[in-house]
Amino acid sequence: MQLFKRNKPLVGLDIGSSAVKAVELTKSKKGYQITGFASEPLNPDAVVDGAIMEAKSVSDAIKRAMAAGKFKPKGVATGVSGHSVIVKRVVFAAGLKEIDAAVQLDSDQYIPFDIAEVNLDYAVVGPGTTTSDDPGTEVVLVVAKKDKIENQTNVISLSGKNPEVVDIDAFALQNAFEANYTVDPNATIALLNIGASLMNINIVKGGLPLFIRDVSVGGNQYTDILQKELQLNFQEAEELKLGKTGGPEAEMVQPLLESITDMVIMEVHKTFEFFRETYPNETITQILISGGTARTAGLAPKIEETFGYPTEVMDPFKSITFGPRVDAAKVTSLGPALAVAVGLALRGFDQ
Ligand SMILES: Nc1ncnc2c1ncn2[C@@H]1O[C@H](COP(=O)(O)OP(=O)(O)OP(=O)(O)O)[C@@H](O)[C@H]1O
Ligand SMILES: [Mg+2]
């Protein structure tokens, strides 16, 4: 999924709610190489539910990430997600020649926001069937609220970098997937990027998104339950979750974490049900999970067991080599949490 073509390396900058992650890629005949990366933690109040609450601390974290990564490109590609973003497939009653006018004119009925408050874009899928005899054209309609985009580009400018591309996290996820995996054009693959506060879902087929949705669940909920049930602060609960601390609570931890895994699976279930109603003829063939929370012990097997689709943790570096300046062990330890940043960095190249 590529809305604009370009060929100028960009730093992929993923502003998540737990950390700012940045990736630089270089392209050669042999393929992509990661030539720089950084991850800087954010305090839990800096970005809440995808909204930047503390612009200064976020732009400071971006500055630290840029210094740590020693990146060459000045421009960055960033992504937006959450409630302020809508991606859906729509069939407009218009031929290919009239599609642009039709999208501009008729999109408001598919958008729960004032059209003046959004940036609108689309990609043509192909001919589509309408309820009348008129020719139809199916598009992937992309809508993002202007204030959300500005919120994000402002902190980037504040950090001294140029926000040159604003992508959608779910598209970046798909680009990272397609750059790394050999994709059967007939396969229907569910990509789930489970971060700290948000799960981006993109069900893809033949290089195009069939179904995109962001759900407010993520790793923070695992941390929250430990915090509440065991009277810990955020940091203590986070460390306990990640197995960095043992202690007397350890045996109480597992069932609490499993209760959250059940809840995450419920949300995935709801989304899959909705997908099935929308696309009764499509069957998911595989699930790939990414985001930091993808590494939760037992999550991938539990998803596979529940839905019956082969499920694995996505490796955003499966086909990407490590450059000499890059600490491969560190990159590997972050692994699936860098999927969106990799996809954003890919926006610097014609694909
Ligand atoms: N090994 C692990 N096991 C379980 N959870 C993990 C592990 N490593 C990281 N996490 C969790 O992953 C989350 C961070 O993932 P990620 O970096 O993808 O999120 P984010 O992009 O900052 O957040 P979001 O996109 O939701 O705003 C945190 O909740 C963190 O605790
Ligand atoms: Mg994220």
Per-residue pLDDT reduced to its tens digit, 152-207? 999 999 999 999 999 999 999 999 999 999 999 999 999 999 999 999 999 999 99
Give tens-digit pLDDT for 67-76: 999 998 989 9
The reported pLDDT for the residue numbered 246 is 73
Three-state secondary-structure class, residue 344: helix
Among all bound ligands, the one having the nearest atom to the CA of 197 is: 1
Topology of domain 85-144, CATH? Dna Ligase; domain 1 (3.30.1490)
pLDDT band at 295 (very low <50, low <70, confident <90, very high): very high
Residue of the CA atom closest to atom 12 of ligand 1: 292
Among all bound ligands, the one having the nearest atom to the CA of 199 is: 1
Mean pLDDT of all residues in 323-350 = 95
pLDDT band at 49 (very low <50, low <70, confident <90, very high): confident
Is the predicted pLDDT of residue 219 greater than 70, yes or no?
Answer: yes
Taking the domains of the chain in order of start, what are their residue ranges? 85-144
291 touches ligand 1 (CB under 6 Å): yes
Give tens-digit pLDDT for 29-47: 889 999 999 999 999 999 9
Ligand 1 pocket test target in 15, 17, 18 with most atoms within 8 Å of CB? 18
Ranges of beta strands (E only) in 46-110 are 47-48, 51-52, 75-80, 85-92
The reported pLDDT for the residue numbered 134 is 79
C-alpha 54 to ligand 1 mean position (Å):
20
C-alpha 182 to ligand 1 mean position (Å):
26
> CB count, 10 Å around CB of 343?
32
Which class for 268: exposed (0-12), middle (13-18), buried (19 or more C-beta within 10 A)? Answer: buried
The reported pLDDT for the residue numbered 167 is 96
C-alpha 6 to ligand 1 mean position (Å):
31
Query: DSSP label at 295?
Result: G
Among all bound ligands, the one having the nearest atom to the CA of 294 is: 1
The reported pLDDT for the residue numbered 2 is 45
Measured from the Cα of 14, ligand 1's closest atom is 21
In angstroms, rounded to a whole number, what is the distance separating the alpha carbons of residues 109 and 21?
36
In angstroms, rounded to a whole number, what is the distance separating the alpha carbons of residues 52 and 56?
10
Ligand 1 pocket test target in 198, 220, 293 with most atoms within 8 Å of CB? 293
Residue of the CA atom closest to atom 15 of ligand 1: 292
336 touches ligand 1 (CB under 6 Å): no
The reported pLDDT for the residue numbered 318 is 98
